[in-house]
Amino acid sequence: MENIPTVKEMFDYVYSELCRGIAGIEISPYCSRSRFDVIEINRNRRLIKIYEVKSSRQDFISDNKWQKYLKYCTNFGFVAPEGVIKLDELPKKVGLVEISKVNGELKHDYIKRFSRINKNVSNKNYIKVLEGLVSSKSWGLKEARHQLKCNNKLIEKLQEGKENDYS
């Protein structure tokens, strides 16, 4: 079935084409057993978007862990090949992006926009996500060092409880 994108193709596509902020693939928050497929962080707006990639209908139906990810994000949604997930199966604020392959090229459609699930992520969980991201293998060491340096000030302010002052 060459017209159905592979999981790797969907991961790479979401990471390179849909993520606009700081992003990573297969990220686990520090000291957590959770693992997000693709995560995007907009540091200036303090948004964390998690994309959960589903390869098939069975993959979607058998997933019983995605709800545990919600405490780590402001926006959440699924990414799947066309027709794998039905709209009426999704909770109200959960998004859906369908990926298709046409003449060897991937394209996407936002079937259901990602709505804000949480106004904010707790400081503790935000720091865990940042620590997980910078220690992940999907980030280059140079990029991770640079981002750590940029986020040191933010992490210090969050730990001091100055959560609204993160510029």
Q: In this predicted model, what pLDDT tens digit does every residue of 49-70 receive, in sequence order?
A: 999 999 999 999 999 999 999 9
The 8-class DSSP code of residue 116 comes to B
> CA 162, 124, 114, 3 torsion: positive or negative?
positive
pLDDT at 136: 77
Token code pair at residue 130: 């940042």
Residue 74 lies in a domain: yes
Q: How many domains does the chain have?
A: 1
Q: Distance between CA 111 and CA 82 in Å, rounded?
A: 10
Residue 90 in domain: yes
Q: What is the pLDDT of residues 142-152, one digit of tens each?
A: 455 555 655 66
Q: Identify whether 2 is part of a domain.
A: no
Report if residue 165 sits inside a domain: no
* Cβ pair 22, 40 in contact under 8 A: yes
Question: For residue 69, what are the domain limits?
Answer: 7-159
In a domain, 17, yes or no: yes
- Among 57, 58, 63, smallest CA distance to 36 is for 63
- Does residue 166 belong to any structural domain of this protein? no
- Candidates 52, 51, 65, 35; CA nearest to 129 is 35
The pLDDT value recorded for residue 135 is 82
**132 in a domain, yes or no?**
yes
- The model carries a pTM of 0.80
- The answer as to whether 164 is a domain residue is no
- Integer Cα distance of 64 and 120 in angstroms: 24
Q: How far apart are CA 114 and CA 95, in angstroms?
A: 4
List pLDDT tens digits, range 150-160. Answer: 566 566 667 77
